[in-house]
Amino acid sequence: MKIYVDADACPVKDIIIAEANILKIPVIMITSISHYSRKEDPSGVKTIYVDTGAEAADYRIMKLAEKGDMIVTQDYGLASLGLAKGCIVLHHKGFTYTNENIDQLLQTRYLSAMARKSGKRTKGPKPFTAEDKEKFRSLFTSTLKQLLSE
């Protein structure tokens, strides 16, 4: 098993790295070349840089991920593709994408996009909180332990 992180705007990279290192699970950070850093990756982490195109990170993650791998993303489209491939997909706000909730999430995204296109203003995501971070940590560690016990 590997953990793939849609890393450009992921606020929980530190949690993912720390917990995965404890369990010796490889972490692959996929990020835009515009976030290039010469800083050395922590142990157990590999960073892959992709073009700045809108879906470049998503395409690379889907090319690399295999059934049973974990993906951490806030992108509903990527989450849908990951689920179809048999991956476990988590959102950084502490919920698991499932075949039961992904259609509703995609529908809500579509309706918001249509409203914006017609000139209406829509609310953006709520700010990321310390509570969200702890919710993610709890979900992430329990999911990893469950996967490793299977």
Angle in degrees, CA 36, 61, 145, rounded to 5: 105
State the pLDDT confidence band at 9, using cuts at 50, 70 and 90.
confident
Give the pLDDT confidence of 90-109 residue by residue, as tens digits: 999 999 999 888 878 778 76
The helix-helix angle for 76-84 and 56-64 (nearest 10°) equals 20
Name the range with the highest mean pLDDT among 13-27, 95-109, 114-128: 13-27
- Higher model confidence: residue 70 or residue 37? 70
The residue type of 147 is L
Q: What is the pLDDT of residue 121?
A: 78
* Domains within the chain, CATH numbers bracketed: 3-149 (3.40.50)
Mean pLDDT of 68-82: 94
